[in-house]
Protein backbone atom coordinates (compact mmCIF):
# COMPACT_ATOMS: atom_id res chain seq x y z
CA UNK A 1 0.00 0.00 0.00
CA UNK A 2 1.21 3.50 -0.76
CA UNK A 3 -0.95 5.21 1.88
CA UNK A 4 0.00 5.20 5.55
CA UNK A 5 -1.27 2.21 7.49
CA UNK A 6 -3.54 3.02 10.42
CA UNK A 7 -4.29 1.03 13.57
CA UNK A 8 -6.99 1.78 16.14
CA UNK A 9 -6.95 0.17 19.59
CA UNK A 10 -10.26 0.40 21.47
CA UNK A 11 -9.92 0.21 25.26
CA UNK A 12 -12.20 0.58 28.25
CA UNK A 13 -10.09 2.67 30.66
CA UNK A 14 -6.87 4.69 30.74
CA UNK A 15 -4.11 2.13 31.52
CA UNK A 16 -5.69 -0.69 29.46
CA UNK A 17 -3.77 0.48 26.40
CA UNK A 18 -0.50 0.04 28.29
CA UNK A 19 -1.27 -3.45 29.62
CA UNK A 20 -2.75 -4.90 26.42
CA UNK A 21 -0.88 -4.63 23.15
CA UNK A 22 1.33 -1.69 24.10
CA UNK A 23 4.55 -3.18 22.72
CA UNK A 24 2.73 -3.95 19.47
CA UNK A 25 1.59 -0.34 19.16
CA UNK A 26 5.07 1.00 19.91
CA UNK A 27 6.53 -1.35 17.27
CA UNK A 28 4.10 -0.15 14.62
CA UNK A 29 4.68 3.50 15.52
CA UNK A 30 8.41 2.91 14.97
CA UNK A 31 7.57 1.59 11.49
CA UNK A 32 5.56 4.68 10.58
CA UNK A 33 2.07 3.32 11.24
CA UNK A 34 -0.46 5.88 12.51
CA UNK A 35 -1.84 4.48 15.79
CA UNK A 36 -4.86 5.82 17.67
CA UNK A 37 -6.09 4.65 21.07
CA UNK A 38 -9.82 5.10 21.65
CA UNK A 39 -10.51 5.19 25.40
CA UNK A 40 -14.16 4.59 26.25
CA UNK A 41 -14.24 5.93 29.82
CA UNK A 42 -12.22 8.21 32.06
CA UNK A 43 -11.56 5.55 34.69
CA UNK A 44 -13.40 7.66 37.26
CA UNK A 45 -14.40 4.69 39.43
CA UNK A 46 -11.09 2.88 39.29
CA UNK A 47 -9.49 1.99 42.61
CA UNK A 48 -6.09 3.38 43.54
CA UNK A 49 -4.03 0.20 43.26
CA UNK A 50 -0.57 1.60 43.95
CA UNK A 51 -0.08 1.34 47.74
CA UNK A 52 2.25 4.34 47.68
CA UNK A 53 -0.59 6.59 46.55
CA UNK A 54 -3.46 5.14 48.53
CA UNK A 55 -4.99 7.60 50.99
CA UNK A 56 -3.84 10.68 49.07
CA UNK A 57 -6.84 13.03 49.37
CA UNK A 58 -5.96 15.03 46.26
CA UNK A 59 -5.86 11.93 44.08
CA UNK A 60 -9.07 10.58 45.58
CA UNK A 61 -10.92 13.85 44.96
CA UNK A 62 -9.47 14.44 41.48
CA UNK A 63 -9.15 10.90 40.14
CA UNK A 64 -10.58 11.77 36.71
CA UNK A 65 -8.05 14.57 36.18
CA UNK A 66 -5.18 12.50 37.57
CA UNK A 67 -5.92 9.56 35.31
CA UNK A 68 -6.21 11.85 32.29
CA UNK A 69 -2.71 13.18 33.01
CA UNK A 70 -1.42 9.64 33.39
CA UNK A 71 -2.97 8.76 30.04
CA UNK A 72 -1.27 11.70 28.36
CA UNK A 73 2.12 10.65 29.74
CA UNK A 74 1.61 7.05 28.59
CA UNK A 75 0.44 8.26 25.18
CA UNK A 76 3.64 10.22 24.70
CA UNK A 77 5.77 7.26 25.76
CA UNK A 78 4.06 4.95 23.26
CA UNK A 79 4.06 7.57 20.51
CA UNK A 80 0.37 7.07 19.74
CA UNK A 81 -2.57 9.40 19.36
CA UNK A 82 -5.49 9.11 21.77
CA UNK A 83 -9.17 10.07 21.88
CA UNK A 84 -11.76 9.88 24.66
CA UNK A 85 -15.20 8.53 23.78
CA UNK A 86 -16.64 10.29 26.83
CA UNK A 87 -18.43 7.53 28.74
CA UNK A 88 -18.45 7.22 32.54
CA UNK A 89 -16.62 4.34 34.21
CA UNK A 90 -18.99 1.67 35.54
CA UNK A 91 -16.70 0.46 38.30
CA UNK A 92 -16.22 -3.22 39.13
CA UNK A 93 -19.15 -4.40 41.28
CA UNK A 94 -18.19 -6.63 44.21
CA UNK A 95 -20.19 -8.60 46.73
CA UNK A 96 -22.78 -11.36 46.82
CA UNK A 97 -25.21 -10.51 45.48
CA UNK A 98 -23.51 -8.01 43.20
CA UNK A 99 -24.77 -4.44 43.65
CA UNK A 100 -26.44 -2.73 40.68
CA UNK A 101 -24.28 -0.72 38.34
CA UNK A 102 -24.36 3.06 38.86
CA UNK A 103 -26.93 4.99 36.87
CA UNK A 104 -25.62 6.54 33.67
CA UNK A 105 -22.46 4.44 33.51
CA UNK A 106 -20.96 3.07 30.30
CA UNK A 107 -22.09 -0.52 30.78
CA UNK A 108 -25.74 0.51 31.06
CA UNK A 109 -25.84 2.44 27.79
CA UNK A 110 -27.81 1.20 24.81
CA UNK A 111 -25.26 -0.61 22.66
CA UNK A 112 -26.40 0.78 19.32
CA UNK A 113 -26.42 4.32 20.65
CA UNK A 114 -23.13 3.96 22.48
CA UNK A 115 -21.44 2.73 19.30
CA UNK A 116 -22.16 6.09 17.64
CA UNK A 117 -19.11 7.96 18.96
CA UNK A 118 -16.88 5.06 17.95
CA UNK A 119 -18.38 4.95 14.45
CA UNK A 120 -17.69 8.68 14.15
CA UNK A 121 -14.08 8.18 15.26
CA UNK A 122 -13.55 5.27 12.85
CA UNK A 123 -14.90 7.35 9.96
CA UNK A 124 -12.63 10.22 10.96
CA UNK A 125 -9.43 8.21 11.55
CA UNK A 126 -10.09 5.55 8.86
CA UNK A 127 -8.20 2.63 10.42
CA UNK A 128 -7.30 -0.44 8.40
CA UNK A 129 -7.12 -2.58 11.57
CA UNK A 130 -8.95 -2.39 14.91
CA UNK A 131 -8.06 -4.21 18.13
CA UNK A 132 -10.48 -4.67 21.04
CA UNK A 133 -11.58 -7.29 23.61
CA UNK A 134 -13.38 -10.59 23.13
CA UNK A 135 -16.95 -11.22 24.28
CA UNK A 136 -15.73 -11.91 27.82
CA UNK A 137 -13.92 -8.58 27.94
CA UNK A 138 -10.60 -10.35 28.46
CA UNK A 139 -11.86 -10.48 32.03
CA UNK A 140 -15.47 -9.85 33.03
CA UNK A 141 -15.36 -6.16 33.88
CA UNK A 142 -18.65 -4.62 32.68
CA UNK A 143 -16.81 -1.84 30.82
CA UNK A 144 -14.60 -4.34 28.99
CA UNK A 145 -17.63 -6.34 27.89
CA UNK A 146 -19.36 -3.15 26.74
CA UNK A 147 -16.21 -2.14 24.86
CA UNK A 148 -16.44 -5.42 22.98
CA UNK A 149 -20.09 -4.84 22.16
CA UNK A 150 -19.70 -1.36 20.73
CA UNK A 151 -16.54 -2.35 18.86
CA UNK A 152 -18.38 -5.14 17.06
CA UNK A 153 -21.27 -2.86 16.12
CA UNK A 154 -18.97 -0.06 14.97
CA UNK A 155 -16.71 -2.36 12.94
CA UNK A 156 -19.67 -3.55 10.86
CA UNK A 157 -21.53 -0.23 10.75
CA UNK A 158 -18.75 2.24 9.92
CA UNK A 159 -18.67 1.28 6.25
CA UNK A 160 -22.44 1.28 5.78
CA UNK A 161 -23.74 4.63 4.49
CA UNK A 162 -27.23 3.80 5.74
CA UNK A 163 -26.13 3.54 9.36
CA UNK A 164 -25.25 6.39 11.72
CA UNK A 165 -26.00 9.25 9.31
CA UNK A 166 -24.29 12.50 10.18
CA UNK A 167 -21.18 10.85 11.62
CA UNK A 168 -18.91 11.26 8.60
CA UNK A 169 -18.14 9.54 5.34
CA UNK A 170 -18.35 5.73 5.54
CA UNK A 171 -15.12 3.83 6.09
CA UNK A 172 -14.74 0.04 6.12
CA UNK A 173 -12.01 -1.31 8.43
CA UNK A 174 -10.48 -4.48 7.03
CA UNK A 175 -9.55 -6.52 10.12
CA UNK A 176 -10.65 -6.79 13.75
CA UNK A 177 -8.62 -8.51 16.45
CA UNK A 178 -9.16 -9.45 20.08
CA UNK A 179 -6.27 -8.80 22.47
CA UNK A 180 -5.18 -12.16 23.91
CA UNK A 181 -1.92 -11.28 25.64
CA UNK A 182 -2.98 -13.00 28.86
CA UNK A 183 -3.01 -16.53 27.51
CA UNK A 184 -2.12 -19.88 29.00
CA UNK A 185 0.79 -20.82 26.67
CA UNK A 186 2.57 -17.55 27.43
CA UNK A 187 1.86 -17.82 31.14
CA UNK A 188 3.07 -21.43 31.28
CA UNK A 189 6.24 -20.61 29.34
CA UNK A 190 7.20 -17.74 31.63
CA UNK A 191 6.21 -19.71 34.76
CA UNK A 192 8.39 -22.65 33.78
CA UNK A 193 11.27 -20.40 32.77
CA UNK A 194 11.28 -18.77 36.19
CA UNK A 195 11.21 -22.11 38.02
CA UNK A 196 13.99 -23.53 35.81
CA UNK A 197 16.17 -20.61 36.85
CA UNK A 198 15.41 -21.11 40.53
CA UNK A 199 13.24 -17.99 40.73
CA UNK A 200 9.81 -17.50 42.24
CA UNK A 201 7.09 -17.30 39.60
CA UNK A 202 4.24 -14.80 39.96
CA UNK A 203 2.01 -17.04 37.86
CA UNK A 204 1.43 -20.05 40.12
CA UNK A 205 -1.93 -18.81 41.41
CA UNK A 206 -2.99 -17.69 37.92
CA UNK A 207 -2.45 -21.20 36.58
CA UNK A 208 -4.30 -22.77 39.51
CA UNK A 209 -7.30 -20.53 38.90
CA UNK A 210 -7.19 -21.42 35.21
CA UNK A 211 -7.55 -25.08 36.19
CA UNK A 212 -10.19 -24.46 38.87
CA UNK A 213 -12.45 -22.49 36.57
CA UNK A 214 -11.68 -24.74 33.57
CA UNK A 215 -11.10 -21.64 31.54
CA UNK A 216 -11.14 -22.48 27.85
CA UNK A 217 -8.12 -21.40 25.85
CA UNK A 218 -8.78 -18.90 23.08
CA UNK A 219 -7.51 -19.40 19.54
CA UNK A 220 -4.28 -17.47 19.10
CA UNK A 221 -3.98 -16.59 15.44
CA UNK A 222 -1.45 -13.77 15.39
CA UNK A 223 1.91 -13.46 17.14
CA UNK A 224 3.47 -10.01 16.72
CA UNK A 225 7.25 -9.96 17.44
CA UNK A 226 7.85 -6.90 19.60
CA UNK A 227 10.27 -7.90 22.40
CA UNK A 228 12.48 -4.86 21.88
CA UNK A 229 9.48 -2.70 22.81
CA UNK A 230 8.70 -4.48 26.10
CA UNK A 231 10.65 -1.79 28.03
CA UNK A 232 8.52 0.90 26.34
CA UNK A 233 5.39 -1.01 27.37
CA UNK A 234 6.56 -1.14 30.98
CA UNK A 235 7.44 2.55 31.03
CA UNK A 236 3.95 3.38 29.74
CA UNK A 237 2.41 1.11 32.37
CA UNK A 238 4.33 2.81 35.17
CA UNK A 239 3.06 6.18 33.91
CA UNK A 240 -0.37 5.07 35.16
CA UNK A 241 0.89 5.55 38.70
CA UNK A 242 -2.47 5.23 40.45
CA UNK A 243 -3.11 1.86 38.81
CA UNK A 244 0.29 0.17 38.75
CA UNK A 245 2.52 -0.79 41.67
CA UNK A 246 6.07 -0.59 40.28
CA UNK A 247 7.03 -3.35 42.74
CA UNK A 248 4.02 -5.49 41.86
CA UNK A 249 3.44 -8.66 39.87
CA UNK A 250 3.55 -6.94 36.48
CA UNK A 251 7.32 -6.67 36.78
CA UNK A 252 8.34 -9.88 38.59
CA UNK A 253 9.65 -11.65 35.50
CA UNK A 254 13.03 -10.16 34.50
CA UNK A 255 12.97 -8.39 31.15
CA UNK A 256 15.66 -10.59 29.61
CA UNK A 257 13.61 -13.71 30.42
CA UNK A 258 10.47 -12.23 28.88
CA UNK A 259 12.33 -11.23 25.72
CA UNK A 260 14.02 -14.61 25.36
CA UNK A 261 11.15 -16.94 26.29
CA UNK A 262 8.11 -15.16 24.83
CA UNK A 263 9.04 -12.30 22.47
CA UNK A 264 5.57 -11.69 21.01
CA UNK A 265 2.14 -10.26 21.82
CA UNK A 266 -0.83 -12.35 20.81
CA UNK A 267 -4.15 -11.69 19.13
CA UNK A 268 -7.21 -13.56 17.92
CA UNK A 269 -8.39 -12.62 14.45
CA UNK A 270 -12.14 -12.09 14.83
CA UNK A 271 -13.09 -10.51 11.49
CA UNK A 272 -11.24 -10.13 8.21
CA UNK A 273 -12.34 -8.67 4.89
CA UNK A 274 -9.03 -9.56 3.24
CA UNK A 275 -7.40 -12.92 2.57
CA UNK A 276 -4.76 -13.98 5.05
CA UNK A 277 -3.15 -17.22 6.17
CA UNK A 278 -2.85 -18.28 9.80
CA UNK A 279 -0.87 -18.05 11.94
CA UNK A 280 0.16 -14.46 11.28
CA UNK A 281 3.02 -12.33 12.56
CA UNK A 282 1.56 -9.00 11.43
CA UNK A 283 -1.79 -7.33 12.13
CA UNK A 284 -1.62 -5.91 8.60
CA UNK A 285 -1.10 -9.29 6.92
CA UNK A 286 -3.21 -9.32 3.75
CA UNK A 287 -3.41 -5.52 3.74
CA UNK A 288 0.13 -4.27 3.15
CA UNK A 289 0.33 -5.60 -0.41
CA UNK A 290 -3.36 -5.76 -1.25
Average pLDDT of the segment spanning 114-133: 98
Task: Give the closest residue to 37 by CA, choosing from 3, 73, 71.
Answer: 71
Q: Where in the chain is the domain with CATH 3.40.50.10320?
A: 6-182+219-272
Average pLDDT of the segment spanning 93-116: 93
On whether 128 is known to bind a ligand per the annotation, the reply is no
- What is the model's pLDDT at position 209? 87
Please write the tens of the pLDDT for every residue from 136-193.
988 889 999 999 999 999 999 999 999 999 999 999 999 999 999 999 999 999 999 9
- Indicate the CATH number for domain 6-182+219-272: 3.40.50.10320
Quote the pTM value.
0.95
Residue 162's alpha-carbon distances to 35, 62, 154, 169, 272, in angstroms, are 27, 41, 13, 11, 21
Please write the tens of the pLDDT for every residue from 69-86.
999 999 999 999 999 999
Residue 9's alpha-carbon distances to 25, 34, 37, 97, 184, in angstroms, are 9, 11, 5, 33, 23
Look at residue 101 and give its three-state secondary structure. Answer: coil
Please write the tens of the pLDDT for every residue from 8-52.
999 999 999 999 999 999 999 999 999 999 999 999 998 898 999
On whether 141 is known to bind a ligand per the annotation, the reply is no
On whether 89 is known to bind a ligand per the annotation, the reply is no
Please write the tens of the pLDDT for every residue from 213-264.
767 889 999 999 999 999 999 999 999 999 999 988 889 999 999 999 999 9
Amino acid sequence: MTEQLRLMAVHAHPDDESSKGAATMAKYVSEGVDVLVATCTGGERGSILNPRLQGDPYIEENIHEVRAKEMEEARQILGVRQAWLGFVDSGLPEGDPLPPLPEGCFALQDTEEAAGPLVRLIREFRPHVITTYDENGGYPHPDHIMTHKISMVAFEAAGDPERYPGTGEPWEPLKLYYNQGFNRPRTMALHNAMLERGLDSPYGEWLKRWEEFQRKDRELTTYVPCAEFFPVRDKALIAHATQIDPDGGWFKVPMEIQQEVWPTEEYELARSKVETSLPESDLFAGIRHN
